[in-house]
Amino acid sequence: MGSNTPGPLQGQRIVITRQSTSAADFAQRLEALGASAIICPAIRIEPPEDWQPLDRALRQLASYDWLIITSANTVHNIMERANAHNIRLLFGKLKIAAVGPATARSLQEAGLNVDFMPPKNVADSLLEHVPIEPGNRVLLPQADLARPLLREELAARGTQVDSIIAYRTVLDERAGDLAERLNNQTVDLITFLSSSAVRNTLTALELAGVSDPLQLLRHVRLASIGPITSATIREIGLQVHIEAREHTINGLIRALCADR
């Protein structure tokens, strides 16, 4: 793209609601395509209230058949605990499954092999394709607000699933900064990368004094990273205008550009 050629997102004022620690890269990529990126984080990642279950599981990794990782946040906390507390990660027969390329990349950057990644970046795809057998022992470290789907479906197949909280997803009230922008109609589109970001944005707007946040959000276009997030948007009474076909940041950016 030449220096005088406008980007495909030229002039678009796009809100990013993902956690601030990982919003900067997304913002830079949007701005490189001509957009004006507005960071209003709706979620904040916090440690679990008790580290002991995760620490204990890490010390016993070799006793598991599978480790299922669904987010890069989990990878970060696993490696941080192992390094900070001199936990030697012994893998034995363990195989690692990663949901999504970003998670797989985080594992590989940590020096861990990824044995399985489903064709789609959703838990349903993992359940459909992962070669876990009845009797296998599975370690599933997740966020506190993670859907119970993986745990319940794997247990129903006769596996022993240890579901452990690896991190908490909490409200970041800075999403309430959206209120003034929405009232002034200086936002064109809001991106959501998780159901938690959708719900927390609504809560943050209420805490910021907005009496009818749904009505305010109906005047702006909404973009979702995938079907689970889209379902949450619709459940609260809003319309999904753009949904990524590939449920990643890259896929969402492509969807935003294709919509122009």
pLDDT in tens, the chain (260 residues): 445 677 899 999 999 999 988 899 999 999 999 999 999 999 999 999 999 999 999 999 999 999 999 999 999 999 999 999 898 888 889 999 999 899 999 999 999 999 999 998 888 899 999 999 999 999 999 999 998 999 999 999 999 999 999 999 999 999 999 999 999 999 999 999 999 999 999 999 999 999 999 999 999 999 999 999 999 999 999 999 999 999 899 999 999 999 87
Looking at residue 190, its pLDDT comes to 98
Looking at residue 121, its pLDDT comes to 83
Give the whole-angstrom CA distance, residue 48 versus residue 243. Answer: 31
Give the whole-angstrom CA distance, residue 63 versus residue 91. Answer: 8
| pTM more than 0.75 | yes
Residue with tokens 């896929």: 251
Strands (E) located in the chain: 13-16, 36-39, 43-46, 66-69, 95-98, 137-143, 160-171, 189-192, 221-224, 242-243
Q: How many other CB atoms sit within 10 Å of the CB of residue 162? A: 16
Looking at residue 2, its pLDDT comes to 47
Give the whole-angstrom CA distance, residue 46 versus residue 222. Answer: 26
Q: For the chain, list the domains and their CATH numbers.
A: 13-44+171-258 (3.40.50.10090), 51-168 (3.40.50.10090)
Looking at residue 3, its pLDDT comes to 53
